[in-house]
Structure formats: structure tokens, C-alpha cells
Chain A
Amino acid sequence: MELIIRGVSKAFGEKKVLRDVNLTVEEGELVAVMGPSGEGKTTLLRLLMGLEKPDSGELLGLDGKKIAPVFQEDRLIEAMDAVSNIRLVTPELSREDVRNAMERVGLTHCEGQPVRELSGGMRRRVALLRALLCRGELLMLDEPFEGLDADTKAQAIAETLRQRKGRPLLLVTHSEAEAAALNARIWTL
């Protein structure tokens, strides 16, 4: 079923963050949400994730759907290693399965190392893989390639396409190149 955002508005106190937002994401579609900073892209994802309630409008097609998120921050368990962080939300995967996926995005030689000791780019890839490998039906990625160099970004994008498996994907990004690499429809807020 498609995802429909109809006439959604959201304010925090006096500050109106979203005004009458309308967007339809077709089944299996890939949409890049773009726009200047502070225009409510992250707020829109938080509404879709159920972490905020809209002041008005409707969000349709979300009922009972599992979401696979990458948050604006990594939100990893600092004392756990990368494999354990991923297996926390996807326990059905073996450590071996997770290691193989990690290798494809250049995450090697970090098993057993707490993620607090990893670089920003490595942590971002762990957060991305955690979302991609879980069984969420809707991928919602908030600037998932932030802080990655050109090579690792290319690997991460390839892995995103490989693991998407036809699931609809909403990507918050500032980069048109990322949207193009993912062959996503650009939608500006």
C-alpha cells in the first residue's frame, strides 16, 4: 500500500515547522526529501515514525508497518560492538551474516570493538546497516551518508540498493548526487 501524507502541519510552540505538507510515496518507490536546513525534513520523518503527532492532517498507509530507521544521530549502544548493535534489532541474523554485510561497506577489523571507539563514518555505516538488514517494511533514512568519504559513500549507496529489496524508501538528504545515485524521485519541502 502506498504512503500518503495529506495536509500535515506541525508546530513546536510558536514555531511552525511543517505547513500543509502533501506527499504520496508509491509502493516500492524511492523518494529523496530535500530542502534547506530547518525546514522540517527530520520532523516529517519523526511524524512518520510515530515519535511526534501532527497538529493537523493525516498520515495514511503506516498502520502496523514496521519501520527501518536511520536517525539523524547514530543512536547506537556505545558499549556494544557493531555486530551486536545490528543483531540487537535483527537477532535472526548470525554474526557471520552481519560480518559479511559489514565487509561490503568497508567495516572490517572492528569486531569486538565498542562502537564508541569507532570513527564517525564507521558509526554512520553501522547505523545504516542496522536499518537495512532489519525486516522493516518502510526504510526511513535521515542523512544516512553524512560524514562518509567518496569511496565508502559509494559502497554504502550500493549496499542500500542491494538491501532495499523493493521496499519503499524515504531519504532525507542535502545532496542531489546521493538522490541521483539512488535513482530517487526528488521531493522538495
Chain B
Amino acid sequence: MKIWAVLFWLAIWQLGSMAVGKAFLLPSPWQVITCLGDLLVQASFWRAIGYTLARIALGFLSAAFFGTLLAASATRYRWVRELLSPLMLTVRTVPVASFIILALIWFSSQRLSVLISFLMGLPVVYANALEGFDARDQGLQEMALVFGLPTYRRILYIDLPQALPALRTGCTLALGLCWKAGVAAEVIAMPRGSIGERMQQAKVYLETPELLAWTITVVLLSVLFEHLVRALLSLLEKRLRRL
């Protein structure tokens, strides 16, 4: 991303805000940054980040783990692939709002963002991991078979490294969805102490600068978390290359 492009869009935002002239409709970038600065010194700001981050991370990591595991099983057993196909299609196509409302009936709002992040991430990780596993080199599979490589070594050092590029794409896509859907679920369910609750309160009191400050916070958290996940996957890839 180029700095000049960011500055250009900030200038457009500033001009739009000046044209509107009402902070509760469209605050200026400076008002939002000032508000974010005020939030940064509040303990409740960091508690809300911790609350939401922990739940979305848990949802995402569960989706990444089970998505990969199920994809590995579906690669090995055709019946698993056939069994999961309608389920994954359903989870992928049902509107997230339907899941949120159903989940609110079945579970407490405290756990909602974990479940929603998991449900949004699972089919994406699964589909990408499946694509990665399907593209495995059959020659290497035969090599592993003839040498009598134990299953865990085959999965760790042959299958997983080949699936990692697709898995990395899946995780990146899933992570974006987890943050969007997870925070949306919090805005609807308003679990106490979450980012979603703070955003909903800012909306109710027409504190638009605070609403945008929280939005920027969520975007930054999402980007940072994505970099962390990518770095961990690169580390794993490197580790699996040396024996």
C-alpha cells in the first residue's frame, strides 16, 4: 500500500466531513484519531480488545484446526468428503445473521463470537485445505508408501507442506470473515465488555467518532492477527523443511 494513496483517501474523507459539517454524521479523520487517542489510555479499551480478541482467536484457531483435520480425513476417505459436502455448503451459504439469531437462542451471548467465528472460518479453511491436499504429488505418496513411512511423518513432512500454500490462503480469507462476523455477532448480542458492545453503545449515543475509532481498532487488530498467523505458518513451513 502506498502512502500517497492513503493520504489521498484521508483528504477525501476530510473534505466530505467538512462538506457535511456534522460530526455525528461524518466526523473528520482528526476527530476520530483524537477519540482513538482518548480510548487508548482507558483500561476498559484494552479489556474490550482482550475480550473480543480471545474469542475470535479461539473461534478462528478451532476453525483452522478442525477445517484442516476434516480436509485431511476427506482426502483419505471418500465417504467423509461426501458426508461433509452438504454440511459445508449449508454453513457457507446460510446468512450469518441467521446463525447469530439461532445461536442467541441456543447459547449465551458470552460465547457467541467464538461460535460465529468458528462457523464462518470452518468451510473456508476446509475448502482450501481440501484443494491443497487434493493437489498432492502422487509420486511422493507412492514414495512414502514404499518406504513404509509412518502416517504422522507422511502427514507432517509430505502432505502438510504441500497443502500449506492453499492453507495459508484459506486462513487469510477465514480470518477476515472471523473478525467481520465475530464483531457483528457482538454488536447484535452485546456481550458485556466486548468491542461489539462498545460499538453498539457508541451508535446509540450517536458517538460516531468513537464508533469509527473502534472500527479502526478492529481493522488494525485483524491486520496484526493476520500477520501473526502468516508468520507462524511460515515458521512451521521452515521447521518442516529440516530434519
Residues of A within 8 A of B (CB): 49-51, 66-69, 71, 73, 75, 77, 79-81, 83-84, 87-89, 91, 114, 134, 136
Contacts and interface: CB of A to CB of B under 8 A. Distances in A.
A80 B140 CA distance: 13
B147 A134 contact: yes
A59 B143 CA distance: 20
Main secondary structure of the interface of A (DSSP, over half): loop
B153 interface: yes
B242 A80 contact: yes
A28 to B, nearest CB: 21
A80 B142 contact: no
A79 B142 CA distance: 18
A50 B141 CA distance: 13
B13 to A, nearest CB: 45
B146 A67 contact: yes
Given A88-B153, A88-B157, A79 B241 contact: yes
Contacts of A134: 147
B86 interface: no
Contacts of A73: 139
A84 B146 contact: no
A51 B241 contact: no
A84 B153 contact: no
Nearest to B143: A75
Contacts of A71: 139, 142-143
Contact of B146 (A49, A81, A114): A49
Given A77-B161, A88-B157, A69 B243 contact: no
Contact of B241 (A49, A67, A68, A84): A84
B148 interface: yes
Contact of B242 (A50, A67, A69, A81): A81
